[in-house]
């Protein structure tokens, strides 16, 4: 790890500081947080986590130290807004915070964090052009790739006769560079989509030397829904995507990388979701991962199934959580600009971050694509550039990350403790499967709290098991337990099929997600052999009167949704077949 690093000792200190910070977050130990700050005093988030731990403990000396840390963070780091909010809370508890008014004034003057503004280490903001009306530009404070090249000129633009008369539902945007071995398979994949001629395919060839244009033009003569553009010199893939988006005639755009493939109905299904949900700006689905070139969807299963999570802005700030094949509304570009042409690897991630600040993203829990894990993709061909681009975006969005981190901390506080969750394992004919689920639940006891659980049957009671609620009555069915008042002695109830492999720690994580959503009453997640349904007790109480078949977990989901509660879907463990 230290090879090629100018100061190996500094790298070791950074690693140790990160470990101490993680240990402090996991166990709430102030000594670990202090050690992280000692090892790396320049990184603001180590001081932020120390201040948060001090505020949680709440002793008078702790509050004094936390206030000093927050004042320094607000004055001298990118954490101006979140640190000022915490100082306001301290002032509300009667403490004297002398610089508060000045900090609040700076917050009002500062642009909101993100690509629209750059915060230097002194907390000052440098304005950038108004991004909703122009293509995004990297913040000028730290250009990692030198001045942007002049845009290429259009060498060829071919729009077939009759193209403009078709009412397109979706436009697939395609960027081509050195992808001759993939382009024919991609065109076959897109032309076989269930949308048929209502799928517009816009191919932008960035002066590729491999002659892909001849293949595209051959298909274009037979399919008037294809548009081909070639530039006179190479551009980044995201400059090409911007050109394709500008040419698109459909209301919805879909990212189509040349080496990826789709379910035959993938684009129609995603478009149907956008049609039904006008409040949603972008949708994304699960996908297979393969190391085989040109593998079609009908050749699944592949090496790994990637199940994505229900969308949160916090996850998107950490990584590109919407996968490689999302679909979005074209009108979002009118408000947020086009792709950043200076980014070759992470331009899509940066674009989604701009969208997500104002628009709703939705996970579609279906497997609709195949992603080729290519050793020659942009991020693997030039890992140093990928690292620089990712770090640049993370720095630009630091203030937004801090804001989301504060909200997540509040959600953790609101979430139930483990001993406030009742796990009901719905046993089938094989008692061994129920025993395996019980063993998995009891394997971990985070923070020394025990899991509360019972084994029940959908239609026939069985004797009590150790570790469940008291044996009164001595056997239960699921309807009996749900109607007897057990759920209302807890804050959440998990309905688990026998064989579901769910640890106590994972159960806590799911409860945190459940209580983080606004009026979210239920959470669905596939774990092991079946689907786990996690319900808040408030939603159970509200929906109980609507239940026609209380022995079925999906009936509870229907009843909760009919009462106006949101039902969220969360990804389970990734599955593999290699």
Do the domains at 8-109 and 154-398 have one common CATH topology?
no
Distance, CA of 25 to CA of 230 (rounded, Å): 52
How is domain 154-398 classified at the CATH fold level? Spore Coat Polysaccharide Biosynthesis Protein SpsA; Chain A (3.90.550)
Q: Is the separation of the CB atoms in 453 and 438 below 8 Å?
A: yes
Beta bridge partners of 576: 304
Mean pLDDT of 149-163: 78
Mean pLDDT of 463-474: 41
Domain 415-576: CATH superfamily is Spore Coat Polysaccharide Biosynthesis Protein SpsA; Chain A (3.90.550.10)
Whole-number pLDDT of residue 319:
86
Mean pLDDT over the full length of the chain = 77
Sorted by sequence, the CB contacts under 8 Å of residue 4 that are 6+ apart come out as: none
Higher pLDDT, 402 or 35: 35
What is this structure's pTM? 0.58
Q: Is 122 exposed, middle or buried (0-12, 13-18, 19+ CB in 10 A)?
A: exposed
Q: What is the pLDDT of residues 284-305, one digit of tens each?
A: 999 999 989 999 999 877 888 8
Mean pLDDT of 92-96: 70
Sign, CA dihedral 371-377-383-387, equals negative
CA 289 to mean position of chain CA atoms: 18
Whole-number pLDDT of residue 313:
85
Class of domain 8-109: mainly alpha
Q: What is the pLDDT of residues 55-80, one digit of tens each?
A: 878 777 888 888 888 888 887 776 77
Under DSSP, is residue 569 helix (H, G, I), strand (E, B) or coil? strand
Whole-number pLDDT of residue 495:
85
Distance, CA of 99 to CA of 101 (rounded, Å): 6
Residue 290: DSSP 8-state: E
Percent of the chain predicted with pLDDT > 90:
27
| Dihedral angle, C-alpha 19, 403, 136, 388, nearest 10 ° | -10
What is each CA distance from 141 to 77, 138, 337, 346, in whole angstroms? 15, 9, 21, 19
Whole-number pLDDT of residue 153:
75
Quickly count helices (H) and strands (E) in the chain. 21, 21
Q: What residue segments make up the domains of the chain, in order of their start?
A: 8-109, 154-398, 415-576
With cut-offs at 50, 70 and 90, classify the pLDDT of residue 481: low
Q: What is the pLDDT of residues 186-213, one digit of tens each?
A: 999 999 999 999 999 999 999 999 999 9
Q: State the residue for tokens 């409860």.
A: 511
- What is the residue-wise DSSP string for 170-185? EEEEEEESS-HHHHHH
Whole-number pLDDT of residue 7:
54
With cut-offs at 50, 70 and 90, classify the pLDDT of residue 93: low
Question: Worst-scoring range by mean pLDDT, 16-20, 91-95, 370-374, 468-472?
Answer: 468-472
Whole-number pLDDT of residue 571:
61
């Amino acid at each position: 790890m230290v090879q090629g690093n100018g100061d190996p000792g500094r790298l070791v200190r950074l690693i140790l500081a990160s470990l101490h910070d993680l240990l402090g977050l996991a166990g709430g130990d102030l000594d670990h947080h202090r050690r992280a700050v000692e090892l790396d005093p320049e990184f603001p988030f180590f001081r932020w986590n120390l201040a948060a731990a001090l505020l949680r403990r709440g002793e008078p000396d702790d509050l004094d130290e936390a206030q000093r840390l927050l004042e320094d963070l607000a004055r001298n780091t990118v954490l101006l807004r979140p640190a000022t909010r915490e100082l306001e809370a301290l002032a509300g508890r009667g403490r004297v915070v002398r610089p508060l008014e000045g900090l609040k004034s700076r917050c009002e003057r500062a642009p909101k964090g993100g690509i629209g503004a750059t915060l230097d280490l002194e907390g000052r903001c440098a304005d950038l052009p108004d991004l909703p009306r122009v293509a995004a530009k990297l913040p000028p404070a730290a250009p990692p790739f030198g001045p942007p090249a002049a845009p290429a000129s259009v060498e060829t633009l071919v729009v077939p006769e009759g193209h403009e008369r078709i009412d397109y539902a979706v436009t697939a945007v395609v960027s081509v560079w050195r992808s001759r071995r993939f382009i024919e398979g991609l065109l076959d994949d897109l032309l076989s989509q269930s949308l048929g001629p209502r799928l517009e395919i816009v191919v932008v060839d960035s002066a590729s030397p491999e002659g892909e244009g001849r293949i595209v033009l051959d298909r274009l003569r037979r399919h008037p829904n294809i548009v081909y553009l070639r530039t006179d010199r190479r551009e980044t893939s995201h400059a090409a995507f911007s050109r394709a988006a500008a040419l698109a005639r459909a209301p919805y755009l879909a990212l189509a990388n040349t080496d990826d493939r789709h379910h035959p109905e993938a684009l129609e299904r995603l478009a149907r979701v956008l049609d039904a949900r006008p409040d949603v700006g972008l949708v994304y689905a699960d996908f297979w991962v393969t190391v085989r070139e040109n593998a079609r969807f009908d050749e699944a299963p592949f090496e790994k199934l990637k199940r994505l999570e229900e969308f949160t802005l916090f996850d998107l700030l950490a990584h590109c959580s919407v996968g490689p094949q999302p679909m979005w509304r074209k009108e979002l570009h009118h408000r947020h600009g086009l792709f950043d042409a200076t980014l070759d690897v992470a331009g899509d991630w940066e674009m989604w971050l701009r969208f997500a600040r104002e628009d709703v993203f939705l996970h579609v829990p279906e497997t609709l694509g195949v992603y080729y894990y290519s050793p020659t993709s942009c991020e693997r061909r030039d890992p140093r550039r990928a690292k620089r681009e990712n770090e640049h975006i993370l720095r630009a969005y630091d203030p937004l990350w801090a804001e989301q981190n504060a909200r997540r901390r509040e959600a953790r506080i609101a979430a139930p403790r483990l001993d406030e969750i009742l796990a009901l394992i719905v046993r089938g004919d094989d008692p061994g499967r129920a025993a395996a689920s019980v063993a998995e639940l009891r394997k971990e006891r985070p923070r020394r709290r025990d899991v509360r659980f019972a084994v029940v049957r959908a239609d026939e009671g069985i004797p009590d098991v150790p570790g469940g609620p008291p044996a009164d009555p001595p056997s239960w069915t699921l309807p009996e337990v749900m109607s007897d008042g057990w759920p209302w002695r807890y804050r959440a109830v998990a309905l688990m099929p026998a064989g579901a492999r769910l640890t106590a720690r994972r159960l806590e994580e799911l409860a945190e997600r459940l209580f983080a959503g606004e009026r979210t009453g239920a959470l669905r997640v596939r774990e092991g052999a079946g689907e786990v349904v996690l319900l808040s007790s408030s939603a159970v109480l509200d929906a109980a009167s609507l239940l026609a078949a209380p022995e079925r977990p999906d009936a509870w989901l229907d009843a909760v949704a009919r009462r106006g509660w949101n039902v969220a879907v969360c990804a389970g463990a990734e599955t593999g077949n290699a």
